[in-house]
Structures are given as structure tokens and as C-alpha cells.
């Protein structure tokens, strides 16, 4: 049999995505250490702020500032390296902030993840956390993360 | 509106492996098409239309991959459609073929495709691109973490643990050891699963599906074609679909429509298929289930969404010997399922093909004795797009 031949390629594609008025205002809020949500027609507060409601398909209205602390609704700790993604370990959490009806995703930082058993024991549904804002915000969703409440 | 009955007269699948270097991607697709046609005992000239399942182009590294394979499918000169619904792609393609025939438009439709996920070492980076560019992309979500989050929540809500997940892996790997086409064919023990390395806690390596290479295809026909040609198909008796919000964060909290721990939207899709098929008690009326579950944790809540167990109760039933070949009740994933073979584009198609084989008594060493009624399901996106089917050996009352 002939030696197998291969063709190698890398896709290097560039995009500059417009984020629109609602997302832009939420991200601007991060630079002022504020988390903003939007109220739906049936009174729920969507965080992060979205201009329309997944349940009713109606536009959302009022801007609502929610608290900077809340509880973990789900979490995972990643130990496997994935090409193109950050070096593990890292913890990801979804947090229901005070006054919000939907959970905000983010890194959970400040917890030693090397000992898997201890790290898992420190986290759970209902564990209290707070939003930690970057001291050098750039106006992106990377401007915040969560840390365990003291 | 009266819909024509639709049956499956051919199912072909290759032996799934990690890599194939003897063929190009289109040549692999042609394998799936050819095996399905041969199994059906027809030629491409008998086919009225072709449906082609393919998930993100970036996984195969060729844009608009449907262009690449049109000749391999024998679709030149025929109506053609590509379907992409993430992990549900393969079953959505079968559903598309069903609508082609049930509408009365066509009599014979070929659905065939392939995947070779391991050709890209960037698969999880590709899949990370599913998330919102403004809000979620700075966080490294992928298809493993999204289901690790679900698994962690399930464990919390139902007081379940990693051993429950490991039991699913042990069952599926045993089933796959009896399936000559399965990718992972070695059996494992609970201890081995628990000791395997953590990917994204609580999901470990042996809770996870492999990246599979291979091809598969199905031939669907109308009832009038089957009668005219004296064929005995496996009949599609019910179908359901449903969708869930884009935002995982909207699936928690007291005001959520569904919980990310469960597969509530899938339960609705199953109910739609059951209503159409006349199934009122799946635990009694269903013999076998080929349900899409790429991770052990997913199988637990899909069994519950299918109505085979109450919420949170599938682990106890599994521990009691349910769901295993030769065990009690409905046999779940006798092929080994998605957890042992995941060629993404055709994974959902294989669920339907395996279900058809079961009700026709053609499943070989992993045959469920006397199976008459089977269910199949698939899940796409971030637990977002759901497809379900009821397949039966006849058109009599279920």
C-alpha cells in the first residue's frame, strides 16, 4: 500500500462582533462595579441583561441593578487541558445574584483547586459567593469573576 | 391532514474506530450510503431524495461540507438537503426524511453521512464557539463542562453520586462489547471508572464518549412502496421534537421553565411521540431504548425524561439490575450507545437504526429478546434541541 498522505491546515478567522445596546450597557456597568439585569413583562429579572425574554418572546423593559453577592446554582472544576482553552485547573460557576432570577456564569477564583477532593467539598449549590471586579476593566465579560464569601 | 406511514427498510453502519486513513471524508460518507442501500436491497436509482446530516463544518475542516459529499451520496440529479442540529443532527435528518415521505412527496429517501471527529485536535475549541460572544465566551465552556454542570446539579438534587454514573458506564461498555460496530468494546468496572482521570468534575474519562470515526445510513420508504415491493420495514410510529433556551443560567432558580439537572424539554418531546404512537405507559409498552447520552450522567436523566423512571430514581433501578441486557424492564442502549460510539453527525441516525434493528430482530449479540417497540432520542446544542421516536415492528395497536 502507498504511504498515507495527509493535508494539514489551521483556520485563522477574524471577527469583530457588534454587541448591541443592551449587552454594551451591561458590560459598561462592569467597569463601574455594577451588575445590571432587565425586567421581563412578567416581572422576572434576567441577568446578564438581555433585551428579550426566552419564556415569553417579549421585549424586556426596566434596567434593574442586582446585588454583588449570591449563591452557586451549579459548578464544575476542569482538570483536563483542551486545545485553545485555558490551562487547567479552573472552576466555573453559575451564580444567582440577589435580586436576579437567572444565573450569571463566571470563573470561581481564589480557591486552591489542586486537591480535587478539598476543592469540591468547598463548593456546593447554595454556597455564598460575591462578584469580584477587575481593577483594570476593559469592558468585557472578563471584567468580573466570583470568589467565596468570607 | 392524513400522513402516510413511513418505514425503515435499510440500516448500514461501519465499524467505528478512532481514525481511518484509508479513505477521504467523502469516501467514508459513500460507505454509509452504500451500506444502507445494500442493506435495503435497492440501488441509488430507486432513491427519490437524499438528506445529509452534518454538524459544525469546523469539525471536519471543510466549509459547507454538503458540497464535498454530494457525489459520494449519489445525490446528483436528486432533491437534497443538509441538516444540522448539533448532537441531534443524525435524528433530525431522519425526521426530515420522514416528513419528505409522510407528506406524500417521496416514496424512498436515503439518509447517510459520516464523521471523523479525531481529525481535529481542536474539537472542544470548536464547540466552545457555541456560546454567546458578549456574555459567555470569556469563560471556557465546552460540551463537557456544560454537562458536568448538569451532572453536578443532578447529584445535588437527587442525592446521587459518582458511583451512579459509573454504573451507567459499566452497563454501556458491557453492551458495546457485544456490538461489533461499537468504538469502545472493552468492559470496565465501577472501580476503574471511578479511578479514571477527571475531565470536568464530576465527569471522568470513563464517563465520557470517544471521538469516533465511521459512517452510517438509513433508507426510509412509504407504506405504499413497502406494500408494492413486499417489504417488512420497522415502522416509525411516533415522533417528537422540542427545544430549550440558549441560556444555561435560565435553567436554574425557582422561576426556570426547566432545570439543567433534568431534561424537561426532552420529556415533552417524548410525550409528543408517545401520544402519536398510542403509548400511555412506557415502562410496560416499550421493550428497548436507544437514547442519546454522550456521558454517563446524561443517560440517568434521559431515562427519566423518557418516563422509564421517576425523576432521580434511575440510579436505584440501575443498581437493581434494570436497563441491562437480560435484566428487568426496558433495556437501555443495548448497542452501548453514544457513550461508546460518537461519530457526531450520524450518532442520532444510529440510535434510529439500532432501534429498527431491535424491533426487526436483527441486532445480533445485543438483541433484546422479542423486542417489538423501541424508542430513540437525540440531543443537540447545549441540551437544547431534542428529537424522539417510537419504532415498532408492525402497524398494529401498541
Hey, is A127 helix, strand or coil?
A: coil
C-alpha cell at B296: 454517563
Instruction: Sketch the domain layout of chain B as residue ranges.
Output: 6-119+211-222
* Cβ within 8 Å, pair A76-B61: no
- Contact status, residue A111 vs residue A118, Cβ threshold 8 Å: no
What contacts B166, CB < 8 A, 6 or more positions away?
A: B190, B193, B194, B206, B207, B296
d(CA A90, CA A92): 7
pLDDT digits (tens, 9 = 90+) for B12-64: 999 999 999 999 999 999 999 999 999 999 999 999 999 999 999 999 999 99
- Of B111, B391, B42, B100, residue with least CA distance to B222: B100
ipTM: 0.97
The pLDDT, as a whole number, for residue B2 is 79
Which of A 32-91 lie inside 8 A of B, CB atoms?
44, 46-48, 50, 54-55, 73-80, 82-86, 90
Closest Cα in chain B, distance from residue A58 (Å):
14
pLDDT digits (tens, 9 = 90+) for A109-144: 999 999 999 999 999 999 999 999 999 999 999 999
The CATH code that applies to domain B6-119+211-222 is 3.40.47.10
Measuring CA to CA, how many Å separate B273 from each of A143, B334, B359? 45, 21, 17
| Secondary structure element (H or E) that encloses residue A26, with its range | helix A20-31
Q: Which residues of B touch A5 (CB under 8 A)?
A: none
pLDDT digits (tens, 9 = 90+) for B221-274: 999 999 999 999 999 999 999 999 999 999 999 999 999 999 999 999 999 999
Up-side HSE of residue B377: CA atoms within 13 Å toward CB? 38
What contacts B284, CB < 8 A, 6 or more positions away?
A: none
- Of B4, B214, B14, B28, residue with least CA distance to B109: B4
* Cβ within 8 Å, pair A92-B121: no
Q: Which residues of B touch A78 (CB under 8 A)?
A: 140, 145, 148, 199-201
* pLDDT greater than 70 at residue A83: yes
Chain A interface mutation, best of B27, B119, B139, highest count of A Cβ atoms under 10 Å? B139
The pLDDT, as a whole number, for residue B1 is 64
Sign of CA dihedral B182, B183, B185, B187: negative
Which of B 164-223 lie inside 8 A of A, CB atoms?
197-203
Q: Which residues of A touch B122 (CB under 8 A)?
A: 83-84
| Residue from the list A92, A124, A141 with its beta carbon closest to the beta carbon of B135 | A141
Which of A 97-136 lie inside 8 A of B, CB atoms?
101-107, 116, 120, 124-125
Q: What is the pLDDT along chain B (398 residues), one digit of tens a residue?
A: 678 999 999 999 999 999 999 999 999 999 999 999 999 999 999 999 999 999 999 999 999 999 999 999 999 999 999 999 999 999 999 999 999 999 999 999 999 999 998 898 888 888 889 999 999 999 999 999 999 999 999 999 999 999 999 999 999 999 999 999 999 999 999 999 999 999 999 999 999 999 999 999 999 999 999 999 999 999 999 999 999 999 999 999 999 999 999 999 999 999 999 999 999 999 999 999 999 999 999 999 999 999 999 999 999 999 999 999 999 899 999 999 999 999 999 999 999 999 999 999 999 999 999 999 999 999 999 999 999 999 999 999 99
- Per-residue 3-state assignment (H helix, E strand, C coil) for chain B: CCCCCEEEEEEEECCCECCCCCCCHHHHHHHHHHHHHHHHCCCHHHCCEEEEECCCHHHHCCCCHHHHHCCCCCCCCCCEEEECECECHHHHHHHHHHHHHHCCCCCEEEEEEEEEHHHCCCHHHHHHCCCCCCCCCCCCCCHHHHHHHHHHHHHHHHCCCHHHHHHHHHHHHHHHHCCCCCCCCCCCCHHHHHHCCEEEECEEHHHECCCCEEEEEEEEEEHHHHHHCCCCCEEEEEEEEEECCCCHHHHCCCCCCCCCCCCHHHHHHHHHHHHHHCCCCHHHHCCEEEECCCEHHHHHHHHHHCCCCCCCCHHHHHHCCECCCCCECCEECCCCCCCCCCCHHHHHHHHHHHHHHHHHCCCHHHCCCCCCEEEEEEEECCCCEEEEEEEECCCCCC
Q: Which residues of B touch A27 (CB under 8 A)?
A: 134
* pLDDT greater than 90 at residue A150: no
C-alpha cell at B91: 435524528
The pLDDT, as a whole number, for residue A2 is 87
The pLDDT, as a whole number, for residue A93 is 98
* Cβ within 8 Å, pair B200-A120: no
- Contact status, residue B277 vs residue B237, Cβ threshold 8 Å: yes
Count of all residues that appear for chain A in the document: 150
d(CA B165, CA B300): 8
* Cβ within 8 Å, pair A92-B145: yes
Contacts of B16-19 spanning 24+ positions with Cβ under 8 A = B16/B181, B16/B182, B16/B183, B16/B212, B16/B213, B16/B214, B16/B341, B16/B343, B17/B183, B17/B212, B17/B213, B17/B214, B18/B118, B18/B183, B18/B210, B18/B211, B18/B212, B18/B213, B19/B116, B19/B118, B19/B119, B19/B213
- Of B127, B26, B37, residue with least CA distance to B342: B127
Q: What's the alpha-carbon Rg for chain A, to the nearest Å?
A: 19
* Cβ within 8 Å, pair B149-A74: yes
Chain B nearest-CA residue for A19: B134
C-alpha cell at B72: 459520494
| Residue from the list B58, B156, B201 with its beta carbon closest to the beta carbon of A125 | B156
Hey, is A137 helix, strand or coil?
A: coil
Amino acid at each position: 500500500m502507498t504511504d498515507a498522505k495527509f493535508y494539514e491546515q489551521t483556520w485563522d478567522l477574524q471577527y469583530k462582533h457588534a454587541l448591541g445596546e443592551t449587552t454594551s450597557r451591561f458590560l459598561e456597568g462592569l467597569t463601574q462595579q455594577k451588575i445590571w439585569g432587565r425586567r421581563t413583562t412578567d416581572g422576572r429579572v434576567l441577568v446578564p441583561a438581555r433585551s428579550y425574554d426566552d419564556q415569553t418572546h417579549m421585549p424586556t423593559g426596566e434596567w434593574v441593578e442586582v446585588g454583588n453577592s449570591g449563591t452557586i446554582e451549579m459548578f464544575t472544576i476542569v482538570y483536563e487541558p483542551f486545545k485553545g482553552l485555558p490551562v487547567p485547573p479552573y472552576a466555573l460557576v453559575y451564580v444567582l445574584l440577589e435580586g436576579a432570577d437567572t444565573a450569571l456564569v463566571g470563573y470561581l477564583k481564589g480557591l486552591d483547586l489542586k486537591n480535587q477532593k478539598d476543592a469540591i467539598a468547598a463548593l456546593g449549590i447554595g454556597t455564598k459567593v460575591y462578584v469580584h471586579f477587575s481593577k483594570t476593566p476593559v469592558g468585557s465579560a472578563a471584567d468580573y469573576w466570583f470568589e467565596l464569601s468570607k | 391532514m392524513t400522513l402516510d406511514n413511513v418505514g425503515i427498510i435499510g440500516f448500514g453502519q461501519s465499524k467505528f474506530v478512532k481514525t481511518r486513513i484509508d479513505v477521504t471524508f467523502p469516501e467514508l460518507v459513500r460507505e454509509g450510503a452504500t451500506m444502507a442501500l445494500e442493506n435495503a436491497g435497492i440501488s441509488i436509482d430507486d432513491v427519490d431524495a437524499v438528506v445529509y446530516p452534518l454538524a459544525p463544518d469546523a469539525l471536519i475542516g471543510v466549509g459547507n461540507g454538503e458540497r464535498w459529499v454530494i457525489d459520494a451520496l449519489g445525490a446528483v440529479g436528486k432533491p437534497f438537503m443538509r441538516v444540522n442540529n448539533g448532537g441531534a443532527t443524525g435524528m433530525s435528518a431522519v425526521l426530515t426524511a420522514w416528513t419528505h415521505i409522510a407528506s406524500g412527496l417521496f416514496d424512498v429517501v436515503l439518509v447517510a453521512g459520516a464523521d471523523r471527529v479525531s481529525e481535529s485536535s481542536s474539537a472542544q475549541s470548536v464547540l466552545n464557539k457555541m456560546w454567546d460572544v458578549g456574555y459567555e465566551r470569556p469563560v471556557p465552556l465546552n460540551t463537557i463542562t456544560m454537562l458536568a454542570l448538569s451532572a453536578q446539579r443532578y447529584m445535588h438534587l437527587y442525592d446521587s453520586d459518582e458511583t451512579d454514573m459509573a454504573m451507567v458506564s459499566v452497563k454501556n461498555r458491557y453492551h458495546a462489547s457485544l456490538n461489533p460496530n461499537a468504538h469502545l468494546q472493552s468492559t470496565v468496572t465501577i472501580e476503574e471508572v471511578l479511578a479514571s482521570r477527571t475531565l470536568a468534575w464530576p465527569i471522568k474519562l470513563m464517563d465520557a464518549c470517544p471521538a469516533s470515526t465511521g459512517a452510517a445510513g438509513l433508507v426510509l420508504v412509504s407504506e405504499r412502496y413497502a406494500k408494492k415491493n413486499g417489504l417488512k420495514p420497522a415502522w416509525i410510529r411516533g415522533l417528537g421534537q422540542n427545544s430549550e433556551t440558549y441560556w444555561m443560567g435560565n435553567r436554574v432558580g425557582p422561576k426556570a421553565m426547566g432545570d439543567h439537572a433534568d431534561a424537561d424539554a426532552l420529556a415533552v418531546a417524548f410525550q409528543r411521540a408517545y401520544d402519536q404512537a398510542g403509548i400511555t405507559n412506557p415502562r410496560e409498552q416499550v421493550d428497548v431504548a436507544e437514547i442519546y447520552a454522550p456521558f454517563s450522567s446524561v443517560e440517568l436523566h434521559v431515562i427519566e425524561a423518557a418516563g422509564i423512571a421517576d425523576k432521580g430514581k434511575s440510579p436505584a433501578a440501575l443498581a437493581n439490575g434494570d436497563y441491562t441486557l437480560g435484566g428487568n424492564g426496558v433495556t437501555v442502549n443495548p448497542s452501548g450507545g453514544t457513550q461508546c460510539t460518537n461519530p457526531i453527525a450520524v450518532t442520532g441516525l444510529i440510535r434510529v437504526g439500532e432501534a429498527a434493528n431491535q424491533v426487526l430482530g436483527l441486532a445480533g449479540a445485543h438483541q433484546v429478546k422479542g423486542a417489538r417497540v423501541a424508542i430513540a432520542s437525540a440531543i443537540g446544542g447545549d441540551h437544547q434541541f431534542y428529537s424522539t421516536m417510537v419504532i415498532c415492528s408492525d402497524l398494529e395497536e401498541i
